[in-house]
Amino acid sequence: MKNILKNITSLRLVWFIVLAILIVDQIIKFEVKSTMSLGESIPITSWFKITFIENNGMAYGMTFINKIVLSIFRLIAITAIGYYVCKITKTTHRKGYVACLALVLAGAIGNMIDSMFYGLIFNASTPFNVSELVPFGTGYAGFLEGKVVDMFYFPLIVTTWPEWVPVWGGHEFIFFSPVFNFADAAISCGVVLLILFYRKEMEGLSLNFFSKKSKEKEGN
């Protein structure tokens, strides 16, 4: 009975984290997509701006894989992570480990929603007009081909490389230059916390994932 209660608590924790992140992530993306033109930037502070860009769906705007291939890969990854999270909730485990995995899962789902549906329900954003909702299926792209909305830009340091620096000398240097979204932040936080505090659990990931009957672990 005690283990059943622990499992229910863990599952509720996963659902709460995933739903909370998805709701916040989609509210922010919908607001940006429907009120800002592509490339528009709103200064919040000298080191933080809301800047609307779109990308094919890799973290922090990276784009070097075919969109359909990337979307299929991400669907497989989301399914695998979801399966693993459900599996470990049936064992003795640290709640923090489950929470970190839920962060990664929620972030991946958040960006996947953009790819699956935004191309179907929005017309294309451009630097000259704000995107609008359109009848389902008449948007700018097909299923799995929608672009992911990014908006958080933190140019913490904006300077120029010294002239004596090879290649980059005299060019502008910006730290931190990637534009990202709330889902990306959830993924990054989850991964960093896993690496810092849950290495032992990560080392046993393959055993837990592939074994038919997971070996119970000691929790804190």
Based on the number of CB atoms within 10 Å of its own CB, is 193 exposed (0-12), middle (13-18) or buried (19 or more)? middle
Neighbours of 17 (CB within 10 A): 20
> For the chain, what's the residue count?
220
Residues 6+ apart with CB under 8 A from 153: 41, 48, 49, 50, 51, 179
- Cα angle 157, 159, 162 (rounded to 5 degrees) comes to 135
**114 belongs to the catalytic site:** no
- Active-site annotation holder among 25, 114, 145, 150: 150
- Continuous segment of H or E residues that includes residue 160: strand 157-160
Q: Which of 25, 114, 184, 201 is flagged as catalytic?
A: 184
Calpha distance 101→97 (Å, rounded): 6
Read off φ and ψ for residue 81, nearest 5 degrees.
-65, -45
CA dist., res. 84 & res. 97, Å (int): 12
The phi, psi pair for 180, rounded to 5°, reads: -140, 175
CA 126, CA 148: separation in Å to the nearest integer? 14
The answer to whether the CB of 194 falls within 8 A of the CB of 107 is no
150 is catalytic: yes
* Residues classed as catalytic: 150, 184
